[in-house]
Amino acid sequence: MKISTFLENSQQSRIKKVLGKIGVAFFWVLLWALAARWVNSPLVLPSPLKTLEGVVTLAGDFEFFVSIGVTLLRVFGGVFISVALGLVLGLAGGLNKPFYEIMNPFVSTIKSLPVVSVIILINLWIASGLVPLVVTFLICFPVTWTNVVQGVRSTDKKLLQMAKIYNVEQSKIISDIYLPSVKPYAVSALMNAIGLGWKVTVTAEVLANALPSIGMNLYYAKIYLETDLLFSWTLIIVICSLVIEKITLYMIARNNRKGDGQCPLS
């Protein structure tokens, strides 16, 4: 009886949570609709319905899916490379102080540079189609690097001392002590990189004239004063970003459930 009551309460809680999110979304869409009605000019602010009509219109063209696919490849490519290298080099930087001192000026310089400057510089050296991928990597890499180094430095000192006392191999220390400590920081870096990657990739596509791409479609919609399509492409970017974020969180949560019960140095 208690179990059934718990499950029922849990289900009701989930339903309330979903309804709450729907209510918040409805509030903002309603506010958008009222603002569009007040402005009364689709050229300045198209309504939500007009924006959805634009999405349906775009979806009827094969180039629509090509643009989304190519942009997704650039986002995934840049984020994946930045997270993979950031994890490896961040571990090395956290464990080896001389290596950290060598890498830190490069990372600090990239972090301080405006995104536009990075895009323009990279566009001078490589083909426009590769610019978004390379720029996304350069902008997202410092995020991963910094988080991983911080994760290494926050590792439990008592566990490290215990491993030293028992002469545990360095490879086991890294895999069973450092990596679990770094994991939350790496997950945070991944989520930040995904959000940042979308913004950087689309911006780079516009400035580098990378075709096909979502960014160039945004640019063309702006040039030809097709504000409804501009809003439609923006809505598509938001939806794609949210879907990827949710899938990533689901995969991380699933992996965490599989890893439950594993102890360090086991």
Nearest to residue 248, comparing CAs of 85, 114, 79, 82?
A: 79
Domain 46-259 has CATH 1.10.3720.10: yes
Per run of 10 residues, the mean pLDDT along the chain (length 266 residues) is 56 77 89 92 89 91 92 92 92 90 91 88 89 92 92 86 83 86 88 88 91 91 90 91 84 70 46
Instruction: Sketch the domain layout of the chain as residue ranges.
Output: 1-40, 46-259
> What confidence score (pLDDT) does residue 67 get?
93
Q: What is the pLDDT of residue 5?
A: 59
- pLDDT value of position 17: 79
Q: pLDDT at position 263, please?
A: 44
